[in-house]
Amino acid sequence: MTKALLDKIVDLAVRRGIFFPTAEIYHGPAGFYDLGPLGSLMKHNIIQYWREFFILRETKINIYEIDGSIILPYTALKASGHVDKFTDPKTECRRCGRIYRADHLIEEVISISVEGKSLEEIEGVIAEHNIRCPSCGGELGEIKPHHLMFKTEIGAAGEVAFLRPETAQNIFLDFKRVYYSMRCKLPFGIAQVGRSYRNEISPRQSLFRLREFTQMEIEMFIAPEDLNTHPSFDEVRDVKIRILTREEQLKERPEVVEISAKDAVEEGVVPNQYMAYYLARETQFYMSLGIPFESIRFRHLLPEETPHYSGGNFDLEVRFSFGWKEIVGNAYRTDYDLSTHSRFSGEELAVQHNGRKVTPHVIEPSFGIERTLYALLEFSYSEDERGWPVLKLPRRVSPVKAAVLPLMRKDGLDEKAYSIYSSLRRVPNPCYVVYDDTGSIGRRYARADEIGVNLCITIDYQTLEDDTVTVRDRDTKQQIRVKASELMDIITKDTLRPVIG
Ligand code: GAP
């Protein structure tokens, strides 16, 4: 492949309606993307699969999903620490006026991480290494904090508020309501899927650094003494996870440690069973979506990168064509959020557990949907012998499950095909099936492969005689002849086909 994979995927995504820049006809601002018809189907399928995997299957612990407001009041985000601390360092070129995220610029130019360093220290690194504006060579100005939240105003009085920077905050704010309304007992979880907003200094790499994005987050609330007794831990104890430990990151050639979830807890590689449980389940989840084991690792954030309230953060990173990038953040948030919200609001957020009051500790797996979607596109992208793209998407999340194709648009083939297509769409719980009768059959197969259609169903002259059709598999290109009446069953089984195991 000559062109960079990222560019090929962006080309395909824009051309075929997976994603494209927001307000493109007005050259809209960077960092905003709309999902097109196929991207929004994929997003829907990813959320549905995630919900099944992480919420519905969790029968020993209840996890409740909420759908909270995007606009949150100043007081709530002041308490959470976002008003004071949610910033990135920026610098402006004194000559051309370009603005850079200073820590990223340093990392790109001299491969040094300045995470956790003060603004003065970052300025010192820029001066020491004489880092200049990559665009014009000009001198870079003073390092200033750039606030990441989007500010807005509520009502005629103009009360200051912000767009939420993470969906997690609604969960902490709603904790008491959910606890009492659902008659919860520790441990339990609250989840939310929804938009988050960060006014990033330099959005980049298409869906990677956005100013508006979607998170799927779970906050698990656990009594601190129970952090090492996850009721379903036995299901994952032998699952291997790949961890890039803090010690390894300090070496010249860091190596990933491959360890079972059980050993990771016993050897203190992860802080507790709940964290290990999620690292194991996330490994299974992404592998079931076609990301190879060796392309997944959990990086234990270094002390200077770890938020002050956290008892350990493990980022799930995937090896992309442009390097390892985080797609899920896992944090042991301790009791920080509930304690601070309790202090600021005056509300009691401790709950009864084993006859005493406990402020629960929190384990938080936080998934980014757009990064997950991009990962699935990159790992499923291939080209056929003619160099035409084929998206070998996991069957569960591919946007279109089947395409119904009449061999010809005449002799009653089209009517027959249309009636089969309609019968597939008019069932309870239909899956997404399309009808395509334009162009040669080869062209139509290629068009379907390019967007990852799982199966192509062709209606030919034999169909008119015996009601059978051919079903072509996207990945193997094999065709089988089946009865039209069996199609729904075949498509459903095919959709549920696991990628591995
Ligand atoms: N509540 C914890 C939290 O928000 P995070 O590591 O900042 O943690 C979690 O974000 C996930 O959200 C990331 O792993 C990523 O997938 C996604 N995410 C965060 N910032 C993003 C951005 N600017 N653009 C796209 N996705 C983003």
**C-beta of 88 in contact with ligand 1 (< 6 A):** no
| Spacing, Cα 329 to ligand 1 middle (Å) | 7
Rounded to an integer, the average pLDDT of 106-115 is: 90
Domain boundary among 147, 163, 194: 147
Strand order in the sheet with 99-101: 99-101, 87-92, 144-147
Say if 351 falls within a structural domain: yes
Say if 185 falls within a structural domain: yes
Say if 385 falls within a structural domain: no
**C-beta of 317 in contact with ligand 1 (< 6 A):** no
Burial of residue 294, with CB atoms counted within 10 A of its CB: 0-12 exposed, 13-18 middle, 19 or more buried: exposed
| Spacing, Cα 97 to ligand 1 middle (Å) | 28
How far apart CA 140 and CA 11 sit, in angstroms, is 34
Write down the pLDDT at residue 1: 44
Query: Same domain, yes or no, for 340 and 414?
Result: no
**C-beta of 226 in contact with ligand 1 (< 6 A):** no
Q: Quick one: how far is CA 477 from the chain centroid?
A: 30
Per-residue pLDDT tens digits for 430-479: 889 999 999 999 999 999 999 999 999 999 999 999 999 999 999 999 99
| Spacing, Cα 216 to ligand 1 middle (Å) | 10
Atom 6 (ligand 1) nearest CA: 329
Say if 488 falls within a structural domain: yes
**C-beta of 371 in contact with ligand 1 (< 6 A):** yes
Query: Same domain, yes or no, for 296 and 366?
Result: yes
Atom 4 (ligand 1) nearest CA: 166
Query: Same domain, yes or no, for 235 and 115?
Result: no
**C-beta of 495 in contact with ligand 1 (< 6 A):** no
**C-beta of 194 in contact with ligand 1 (< 6 A):** no
Q: What is the CATH number of the domain that holds 104?
A: 3.30.40.230
Rounded to an integer, the average pLDDT of 255-262 is: 98
Banded model confidence at residue 61, pLDDT cuts 50, 70, 90: very high
Strand order in the sheet with 159-163: 71-73, 159-163, 151-154
Per-residue pLDDT tens digits for 19-46: 999 999 999 999 999 999 999 999 999 9
Give the C-alpha distances (Å, rounded to integers) separating 45 from 2, 48, 246, 369: 31, 5, 35, 11
Burial of residue 43, with CB atoms counted within 10 A of its CB: 0-12 exposed, 13-18 middle, 19 or more buried: buried
**C-beta of 77 in contact with ligand 1 (< 6 A):** no
Query: Same domain, yes or no, for 268 and 412?
Result: no
Say if 297 falls within a structural domain: yes
| Spacing, Cα 328 to ligand 1 middle (Å) | 7
Atom 21 (ligand 1) nearest CA: 209
Query: Same domain, yes or no, for 422 and 303?
Result: no
Per-residue pLDDT tens digits for 114-140: 888 899 999 999 999 999 999 999 999
Q: What's 229's DSSP letter?
A: -
Domain boundary among 380, 413, 432: 380
Helix intervals (H) in 129-212: 168-181
Say if 395 falls within a structural domain: no
How far apart CA 344 and CA 371 sit, in angstroms, is 34
Say if 438 falls within a structural domain: yes
pLDDT surpassing 60 at residue 500: no
**C-beta of 198 in contact with ligand 1 (< 6 A):** yes
pLDDT surpassing 50 at residue 249: yes
Query: Same domain, yes or no, for 123 and 49?
Result: no
Query: Same domain, yes or no, for 374 and 407?
Result: no
**C-beta of 213 in contact with ligand 1 (< 6 A):** yes
**C-beta of 328 in contact with ligand 1 (< 6 A):** yes
Query: Same domain, yes or no, for 111 and 160?
Result: no
Query: Same domain, yes or no, for 166 and 116?
Result: no
Please tell me the pTM assigned to this model.
0.96
**C-beta of 168 in contact with ligand 1 (< 6 A):** yes
| Spacing, Cα 370 to ligand 1 middle (Å) | 10
How far apart CA 291 and CA 378 sit, in angstroms, is 10
**C-beta of 366 in contact with ligand 1 (< 6 A):** yes
Range of the domain at 243: 5-83+149-380
Query: Same domain, yes or no, for 75 and 94?
Result: no
How far apart CA 478 and CA 467 sit, in angstroms, is 20
pLDDT surpassing 80 at residue 79: yes
Helix intervals (H) in 131-181: 168-181
Does residue 319 contact residue 300 with C-beta atoms inside 8 Å?
Answer: no
**C-beta of 214 in contact with ligand 1 (< 6 A):** no
Banded model confidence at residue 204, pLDDT cuts 50, 70, 90: confident
Query: Same domain, yes or no, for 301 and 365?
Result: yes
Atom 20 (ligand 1) nearest CA: 209
Does residue 420 contact residue 427 with C-beta atoms inside 8 Å?
Answer: no
Shortest CA distance to 140 belongs to which of 112, 102, 195? 102
Banded model confidence at residue 112, pLDDT cuts 50, 70, 90: confident
Write down the pLDDT at residue 93: 96
What percent of the chain is predicted at pLDDT more than 90?
A: 93
**C-beta of 333 in contact with ligand 1 (< 6 A):** no
Does residue 365 contact residue 330 with C-beta atoms inside 8 Å?
Answer: yes
| Spacing, Cα 368 to ligand 1 middle (Å) | 6
Banded model confidence at residue 499, pLDDT cuts 50, 70, 90: low
Q: How would you label 417-435 residue by residue, b for 16+ Cβ within 10 Å and e otherwise?
A: beebbebbeeeeeebbbbb
Q: Among the atoms of ligand 1, which is closest to the Cα of residue 315?
A: 14
pLDDT surpassing 60 at residue 501: no
**C-beta of 282 in contact with ligand 1 (< 6 A):** no
Say if 501 falls within a structural domain: no
Q: What is the CATH number of the domain that holds 223?
A: 3.30.930.10
Q: Among the atoms of ligand 1, which is closest to the Cα of residue 368?
A: 16
Domain boundary among 380, 413, 447: 380
Atom 5 (ligand 1) nearest CA: 329
Rounded to an integer, the average pLDDT of 282-303 is: 97
Overall domain count for the chain: 3
Query: Same domain, yes or no, for 320 and 450?
Result: no
**C-beta of 217 in contact with ligand 1 (< 6 A):** yes
Q: What is the 3-state secondary structure (H, E, C) of 247-265?
A: HHHCCCCCCCEEEEHHHHH
Candidate of 149, 196, 318, 363 to mutate for ligand 1, largest count of ligand atoms within 8 Å of Cβ: 196
Mean pLDDT of the chain: 95
**C-beta of 103 in contact with ligand 1 (< 6 A):** no
